[in-house]
């Protein structure tokens, strides 16, 4: 009887180890996100791809709090080119997606980040088709079900121009975002082709608090 129990326990342990190993290796990874993007015609932003896998930073691919993946990149919807946002679950199934584009702008896909309350912030840059230097930073807040909470151009928040986010990270409070980049604060800066460093905090309601830094030299 004792021998039977020992054999049974060994078999049970092997079954459990196999089960947990399968589930461990079945977890979706950042590489899965890269493969999905490549296989589905979605081009990741090369300037921001270095942030993929960097905890607390916005990136073209991020692992979500519920072990899924969020992907943003340049894609097509019919003949229209714009920013494609896709949420994959742990089984690599597409749960929801969004396409952002505009007739008057060329929309550049940048990055995405999740706060500690489970909301996502999608970053894009809109380039005026008639003037490539005329840019606006666009941010869209989305919940876990893919429902858009708000969609703002940051220029709507302040009388500044041609804002550009170099990178975005999660604030220490886990709710606000810290944005770093450049801006042209007034029309004089535009006329002189001057750009200034820029840092801001963006909260979940879309409130933006920013500071203009030093003039950047070429």
pLDDT in tens, 152-203: 988 765 667 788 899 999 999 999 999 999 988 888 888 898 999 999 999 9
- Span 75-92, mean pLDDT? 93
Domain range annotation of the chain: 28-215
The residue-averaged pLDDT of 142-152 equals 95
The structural architecture, per CATH, of the domain 28-215 is Beta Barrel (2.40)
pLDDT of residue 7: 53
Q: Token pair for residue 46?
A: 């090369």
Per-residue pLDDT at 21 = 45
Name which of 49-53, 99-103, 186-190 the model is least confident about.
99-103
* Amino acid 25: pLDDT: 47
pLDDT at 50 over 70: yes
User: Which percentage of the chain shows pLDDT scores above 70?
Assistant: 83
Q: Average per-residue pLDDT in the chain?
A: 86
Residue 134 — very low, low, confident or very high, per pLDDT cuts 50/70/90?
confident
**191 against 56, higher pLDDT:** 56
**What's the pLDDT at 24?**
46
Q: Which residue has the higher pLDDT, 184 or 18?
A: 184
Least confident segment among 78-82, 125-129, 208-212, 214-218: 125-129
């Amino acid at each position: 009887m004792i021998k039977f129990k020992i054999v049974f326990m060994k078999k049970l342990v092997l079954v459990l180890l196999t089960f947990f190993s399968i589930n461990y290796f079945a977890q979706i990874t950042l590489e899965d996100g890269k493969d999905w993007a490549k296989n589905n015609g979605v081009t990741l932003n090369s300037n921001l791809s270095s942030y993929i896998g960097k905890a607390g930073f916005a990136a073209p691919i991020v692992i979500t709090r519920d072990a899924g993946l969020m992907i943003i990149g340049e894609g097509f919807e019919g003949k229209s080119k714009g920013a494609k946002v896709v949420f994959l679950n742990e089984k690599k199934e597409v749960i929801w997606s969004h396409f952002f584009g505009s007739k008057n702008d060329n929309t550049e896909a940048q990055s995405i980040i999740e706060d500690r309350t489970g909301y996502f912030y999608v970053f894009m840059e809109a380039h005026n088709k008639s003037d490539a230097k005329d840019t606006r930073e666009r941010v869209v807040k989305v919940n876990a079900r893919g429902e858009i909470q708000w969609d703002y151009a940051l220029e709507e928040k302040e009388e500044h121009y041609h804002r550009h986010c170099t990178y975005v990270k999660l604030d220490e409070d886990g709710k606000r975002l810290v944005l770093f980049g450049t801006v042209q604060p007034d029309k004089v800066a535009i006329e002189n082709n001057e750009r200034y460093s820029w840092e801001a905090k963006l909260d979940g309601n879309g409130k933006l608090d920013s500071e203009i830094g030093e003039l950047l030299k070429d």
